[in-house]
């Protein structure tokens, strides 16, 4: 049965689809609000309330994401043409905005794209779309796997989730200095608390990089320490698309899959492994691991 909320989300989905198809066109408030048949006098507030970003920022970021893909594809378009397509009057203005957002110059990105800051910068687009997507999982998506123990370098985050980005940036900087690319050394998150605990000070999670048993762990930052994700049986659920918020997947495992499975949990927190899809600009995927006895 279609609800009023479903109908509302469908109208908003039309807006996002229209923006994606008309990045070269007129995407001002009048044009975009008419796609959803909403009043232009309220639409900018509706858009931000629904998607968490303003219409202007969403369009700007969507154009910049397209520009970055044009650069990475290496199809021969000049930086000037790409800048014009993205709505910038001069290549210099485009280059400043590009560097500020993706932490690389357009020419450097064209030669050797750094995808981690790219994914961070594009995250608001993925989050916006996830807000009106119904995320559902089924038991047949869960597999039980025997997992080998994994030696890891650990960055702990303890306390207010609002300060997590600072920990993440420090983790990324350390990882680069250590030469541990996501392509060669897997990325893990281990959660010891809820995503949004009642007291933010109780938030607790680890950022981890898998390292070989005989591989020395580069110090470089006092936050890093050695550890291990233990081996054993795990229920594994793969998530693609928006992997910023894995809470719906975790709740499915705890609330629906586990009670019906007859399994019991092992004494280790739920964790995930994150990895790029085949093409980096497609984003990331994640596998969620629920340790079992």
List the structure tokens of 226: 């050695």
CA pair distance 175, 146, nearest whole angstrom? 28
For residue 285, the domain's CATH number is 3.20.80.10
Report whether 139 contacts 260 (CB < 8 A).
yes
How many helical (H) and strand (E) elements, i.e. helices and strands, does the chain have? 11, 8
Looking at the fold, whether 278 and 209 belong to one and the same domain comes out as: yes
Report whether 71 contacts 112 (CB < 8 A).
no
Looking at the fold, whether 177 and 221 belong to one and the same domain comes out as: yes
pLDDT of residue 278: 62
Report whether 235 contacts 289 (CB < 8 A).
yes
Which of 130, 157, 174 terminates a domain? The answer is 130
Looking at the fold, whether 109 and 162 belong to one and the same domain comes out as: no
* Domain that includes residue 157, residue range: 139-291
Looking at the fold, whether 145 and 255 belong to one and the same domain comes out as: yes
Looking at the fold, whether 23 and 94 belong to one and the same domain comes out as: yes
Looking at the fold, whether 150 and 82 belong to one and the same domain comes out as: no
Per residue in 174-183, pLDDT (tens digit) is: 888 888 888 7
Q: Report mean pLDDT in 10-residue bins for the chain, 293 residues.
A: 78 89 89 89 90 91 90 80 89 93 91 82 82 80 96 92 85 87 88 86 93 84 88 94 80 94 95 77 81 96
Looking at the fold, whether 195 and 286 belong to one and the same domain comes out as: yes
Question: Total domain count for the chain?
Answer: 2
Report whether 287 contacts 253 (CB < 8 A).
no
Looking at the fold, whether 82 and 151 belong to one and the same domain comes out as: no
Looking at the fold, whether 147 and 119 belong to one and the same domain comes out as: no
pLDDT of residue 100: 93
User: Does an H or E element contain 111, and which?
Assistant: helix 106-111
Looking at the fold, whether 71 and 9 belong to one and the same domain comes out as: yes
For residue 11, the domain's CATH number is 1.10.10.60
pLDDT of residue 99: 93
DSSP 226: E
CA pair distance 221, 86, nearest whole angstrom? 38
Is the CA virtual torsion 50, 56, 61, 63 positive or negative?
positive
Reduced to 3 states (helix: H, G, I; strand: E, B; else coil), residue 135 is coil
CA pair distance 251, 244, nearest whole angstrom? 15
Per residue in 35-77, pLDDT (tens digit) is: 888 888 889 899 999 988 999 999 999 999 999 988 887 667 8
Looking at the fold, whether 153 and 108 belong to one and the same domain comes out as: no
pTM metric for this prediction? 0.68
pLDDT of residue 134: 61
Produce one character per residue of 162-173: b if its CB has 16 or more CB atoms within 10 Å, e if not.
eeeeebeebbbe
């Amino acid at each position: 049965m279609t609800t009023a909320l479903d109908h509302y989300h469908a109208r908003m989905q039309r807006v996002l689809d229209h923006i994606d198809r008309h990045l070269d066109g007129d995407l001002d408030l009048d044009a975009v609000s008419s796609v959803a048949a909403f009043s232009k006098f309220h639409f900018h507030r509706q858009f931000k309330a629904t998607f968490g970003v303003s219409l202007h920022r969403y369009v700007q970021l969507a154009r910049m994401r397209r520009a970055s893909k044009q650069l990475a594809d290496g199809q021969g378009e000049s930086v000037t043409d790409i800048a014009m397509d993205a709505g910038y009057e001069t290549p210099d203005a485009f280059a400043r905005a590009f560097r500020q957002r993706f932490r690389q110059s357009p020419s450097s990105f064209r030669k050797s794209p750094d995808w981690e800051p790219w994914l961070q910068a594009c995250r608001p687009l993925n989050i916006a779309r996830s807000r009106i997507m119904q995320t559902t999982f089924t038991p047949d998506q869960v597999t039980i796997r025997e997992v080998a123990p994994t030696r890891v370098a650990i960055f702990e985050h303890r306390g207010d989730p609002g300060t997590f980005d600072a920990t993440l940036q420090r983790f990324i900087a350390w990882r680069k200095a250590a030469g541990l690319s996501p392509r060669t050394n897997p990325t893990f998150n281990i959660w010891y608390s809820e995503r949004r605990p009642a007291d933010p000070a109780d938030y607790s999670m680890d950022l981890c990089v898998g390292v070989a048993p005989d591989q020395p762990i580069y110090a470089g930052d006092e936050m890093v320490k050695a550890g291990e994700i233990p081996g054993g049986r795990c229920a594994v659920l793969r998530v693609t698309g928006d992997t910023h918020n894995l809470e719906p997947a975790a709740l499915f495992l705890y609330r629906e899959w586990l009670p019906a499975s007859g399994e019991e949990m092992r004494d280790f927190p739920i964790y995930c492994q994150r990895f790029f899809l085949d093409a980096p600009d497609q984003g990331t995927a994640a596998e969620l691991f629920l340790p079992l006895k």
